[in-house]
Amino acid sequence: MILTMDIGNTNTVLGLYQGDDLKTHWRISTDRNKTPDEYGMLFKSLFESADIDNQAVNSIIISSVVPPILRILKKTSYRYFNVNPLVVGPGVKTGMNIKTDNPKEVGADRIVNAVAAGQLYDGPLIIVDFGTATTFCAVSEKGEYLGGSIAPGIGISAEALFNQSAKLPRIELIGPGKAIGKNTIDGMKSGIVYGFVGQVEYLVKKFKQELSEDAVVIATGGLVSLIAAETDSIEYVEPFLTLKGLKYIADINGMGS
């Protein structure tokens, strides 16, 4: 089996593949204070809850935007799975030509998403990822990673309102129903959710103009359903896009499952 790990700033998503089948997946908090052993015991508990022997894992591939957690989970991989993980980065085959000013600075998660989208859909492509940051990535018709844009994510935008405003509460991120809120909470929901919908629609329009051709728009990320339900600009929702990309990269780098 192949264990895929997508280490994000807020959450870490794990996916367990047997062949091309995603057998199970988990979403856990990214905790910089956990030790390799604490993560190891957590992983063992997750595997036991799924009635899977953790020793069935013979390969691990990791995408990370949090270097301290990457170091910790590499140690966890050695100790609890007896596996030396493959970390997506320079020198790892992805099958994608990166056409940016400095390819090394592009986040591994963005490359992995682009790789997965390129396997699922014909280009050109626009990939929107609703994570701690909201990222937009462009892929050419030839399958080249062209670059993109980065904006504050939905969650941290809502938290900023709560933390920086004395009288605004922390809110649950759910669809507002109406743009004109009749109270503070509904007004905040409207501003946050519809504000991000507007951001998506405008940036997708600008990306398509710069690509000079129509593009397929794919979205992923923990809060994707919240925004995708409110706009026609998103054509396809792929909740496990990053895990699919990691599995494909594992395959082309000769990792067994």
Considering the domain architecture, whether residues 56 and 171 belong to the same structural domain is answered as: no
From CA 2, how far away is CA 111, in angstroms rounded?
19
Considering the domain architecture, whether residues 204 and 164 belong to the same structural domain is answered as: yes
User: Has residue 160 been placed in a domain?
Assistant: yes
Range of the domain at 18: 2-87
Considering the domain architecture, whether residues 66 and 137 belong to the same structural domain is answered as: no
Q: Which helix (H) or strand (E) holds 26?
A: strand 21-29
Query: Domains in the chain: how many in total?
Result: 2
For residue 257, the model assigns a pLDDT of 63
Task: Find out whether 30 is annotated in a ligand binding site.
Answer: no
The residue length of the chain stands at 257
Which residues in 165-184 are b (16+ Cβ under 10 Å) and which e?
Answer: eeebeebeeeebeeeeeeee
Q: Which helix (H) or strand (E) holds 64?
A: strand 59-64
Report the percentage of the chain scoring pLDDT > 70: 99
User: Has residue 102 been placed in a domain?
Assistant: yes
User: Has residue 78 been placed in a domain?
Assistant: yes
Amino acid sitting at position 234: I
In this prediction, residues 45-50 reach a mean pLDDT of 96
In this prediction, residues 156-179 reach a mean pLDDT of 89
* Residue range 183-220, pLDDT digits in tens: 999 999 999 999 999 999 999 999 999 998 899 999 99
Considering the domain architecture, whether residues 112 and 233 belong to the same structural domain is answered as: yes
User: Has residue 48 been placed in a domain?
Assistant: yes
Give the residue numbers annotated as catalytic, written as ranges.
Answer: 109
Considering the domain architecture, whether residues 148 and 195 belong to the same structural domain is answered as: yes
User: Has residue 256 been placed in a domain?
Assistant: no
Task: Find out whether 129 is annotated in a ligand binding site.
Answer: yes
Instruction: Kindly report the CATH number assigned to the domain that includes residue 37.
Output: 3.30.420.40
* Residue range 99-140, pLDDT digits in tens: 999 999 999 999 999 999 999 999 899 999 999 999 999 999
Q: Output the six-digit token pair for 21.
A: 């089948």
Ramachandran assignment for 95, one of left (phi > 0), alpha (psi -120 to 50 degrees), beta (any other): left
* Residue range 169-192, pLDDT digits in tens: 888 888 888 999 999 999 999 999
Q: Output the six-digit token pair for 180.
A: 């004109």
Task: Find out whether 109 is annotated in a ligand binding site.
Answer: yes
User: Has residue 34 been placed in a domain?
Assistant: yes
Work out the pLDDT band at 41, boundaries 50, 70, 90: very high
Task: Find out whether 132 is annotated in a ligand binding site.
Answer: yes
Considering the domain architecture, whether residues 124 and 233 belong to the same structural domain is answered as: yes
Q: What is the mean pLDDT of the chain?
A: 95
Q: Of 148, 141, 136, which Cα lies nearest the Cα of 100?
A: 148
Considering the domain architecture, whether residues 76 and 114 belong to the same structural domain is answered as: no
